[in-house]
Structure 1
Amino acid sequence: MKKTIVIVDDHVLIAKALEGIIDNFKEFEVIYVAENGKDLIQKFENNSKIPDIILLDISMPIMDGFETVLWLKENHPDIKVMALSMQGDDKSVIKMIKNGAKGYLLKNTHPKDLETALTKLNSDGFFYPEWASKIIFSNLNNDKESENAIRISDREKEFLKFTVTELSYKEIADKMCCSPRTVESYRDQLCEKLDLKTRVGLAVFAIKNGFAN
């Protein structure tokens, strides 16, 4: 079964062209288009199908991409949001990621690269091209605890402290008075935010940024 996509973009021609491109992908299909965040919310309230993925423009009237992705994170956290914009500046990238975007692409992306990005987003839960990853890590390096770039919660900080120990995830869960599944959620969220793959990577990050003390 194909993964469903909704495009949110106020430029009708661009949205329709994008819809035609995606509908040629084997794994994905566009189920409808919304003109802005408010239009998307209205469609949800009118019982339109909830998609697996949303391709979200940033600059839109009435309700822009920054507001929309934040609303989606709070109301539909299971939807994977990919920002698709002409804006590739540091501020826009970091703000979209902080607000809940799981990926970021520019509108001049080649269709094949878009398909790859959607596939990675679907399988891994996130996708950031190399240029966006450099922006993220640059901001991390400019702020010791990455508070100004990517928000790390107090519970995630507590989990980072345990990553440098020999405790199993079950034992960490006992220390944190929560379930192993919750601990795994902290791990997955941090790996996603920091573009890391393993506990070793998390431990190195914890040591370098003072979370292991």
Structure 2
Amino acid sequence: MKTTIAIVDDHVMIAKALTGIIANFGEFEVLYECGNGRELQERFKNSELIPQIVLLDISMPVMNGFETAQWLKENHPDILVMALSMQDEDQSLITMIKNGAKGYLLKNAHPAELEKALVSLVQKGSYFPEWAISRVFANVGQVSGQNNGIILSDREKEFLKYSITEMTYKEISEKMFCSPRTVESYRDSLFEKLEMKTRVGLAVYALRNGFGE
């Protein structure tokens, strides 16, 4: 049987183009296209229209990709979500991962990469392009800090939770009831313990190890 797909994108021409491209992939079948997350929710009222994969645009009216991914994570966690974006933005990637997306693909990707991404999503459970792997996932451990012998203080764990958000370090310091300098000390300590150099790396580590739940 073919793996079923729903395309959620408010750009009709892009959605139609994706459907046409995927029609040439023997292992996959597009069930339907819809323009936003709210329309997808309506489709899901019919159990026969619940797909195995959702190709999900991020920027949409009514109910965007972030909100839709979160809803799918809470209500249909078995569905594989592949985010679609026009730009390789770190924060969008992190937010989509936090909201349950298992893949991320730029809309200017070659059809061959789309097929590769879909196959990887089904066979391996995830797909992230080279730019994401090299820039965002580099040096991020596959296992938890505890299992890796790394001991984190309660305050460092609290900082990791906030690192996933879009808050500035000053705003994080206000949440943690301490000075910005103290927050920077938590950051620097984590950089050293986890052998990282960027906040993006800390955010992905936090997501992979359950600090963002």
Q: TM-score range by the shorter chain?
A: 0.5 to 0.7
Of all paired residues, the percent bearing the same amino acid is: 59
Q: Deviations over 1:107-136 (max 9, x none)?
A: 000001110110011000001111011232
Unpaired segments of 5 or more residues in structure 2? 141-195
Q: Is the contact between residue 69 and residue 81 of structure 1 (CA under 8 Å) also seen in structure 2?
A: yes
Match of 1:21 in 2: 21
Distance in 2, matches of 1:128 and 1:149, equals: 16
- Pairing of 1:100-139 with structure 2 (within 5 A): 100-137=100-137
Q: CA-atom RMSD, angstroms?
A: 2.3
Give the TM-score, by structure 2 length. 0.67
Residue in 1 that maps onto 2:192? none
Question: CA, structure 1 residues 150+134, in 2 after alignment: closer, same or farther (shift >3 Å)?
Answer: farther
Partner of 1:200: none
What is the aligned partner in structure 1 of residue 87 from structure 2? Answer: 87
Structure 1 consecutive aligned stretches of length 4 or more whose deviation exceeds 3 Å: 143-150
Q: Matches of residues 146-185 of structure 1 in structure 2 within 5 Å?
A: 146-147=202-203, 150-151=206-207, 152-153=209-210
Indicate conservation of the 8 Å contact 1:98/1:150, yes or no. no
1:47 CA drift (Å): 3.9
Q: Which residue does the alignment assign to 1:203?
A: none
Q: Secondary structure at the match of 2:94?
A: helix
Indicate if the aligned counterparts of 2:94 and 2:203 stay in contact, CA closer than 8 A: no
Deviations 1:32-59 (A, max 9, x none): 1111011101111244521111100000
Q: Deviations over 1:168-211 (max 9, x none)?
A: xxxxxxxxxxxxxxxxxxxxxxxxxxxxxxxxxxxxxxxxxxxx
Take 2:72 and 2:33, find their aligned partners in 1: how far apart are those partners?
Answer: 16
Partner of 2:118: helix, strand, or coil? helix
Instruction: Determine the structure 2 residue equivalent to 1:176.
Output: none
Alpha-carbon shift at residue 8 of structure 1 (Å):
0.2
Match of 1:38 in 2: 38
Secondary structure of the 2:44 match is helix
2:206, 2:62 → 1: CA distance? 26
Distance 1:15 1:132 in 2: 24
Q: Distance in 1 between matches of 2:201 and 2:108?
A: 33
CA spacing shift, 1:70–1:149, aligned 2, 3 Å: farther
Structure 1, gaps ≥5 residues long: 157-213
**Is the CA contact 1:143–1:149 (under 8 Å) kept in the aligned structure 2?**
no
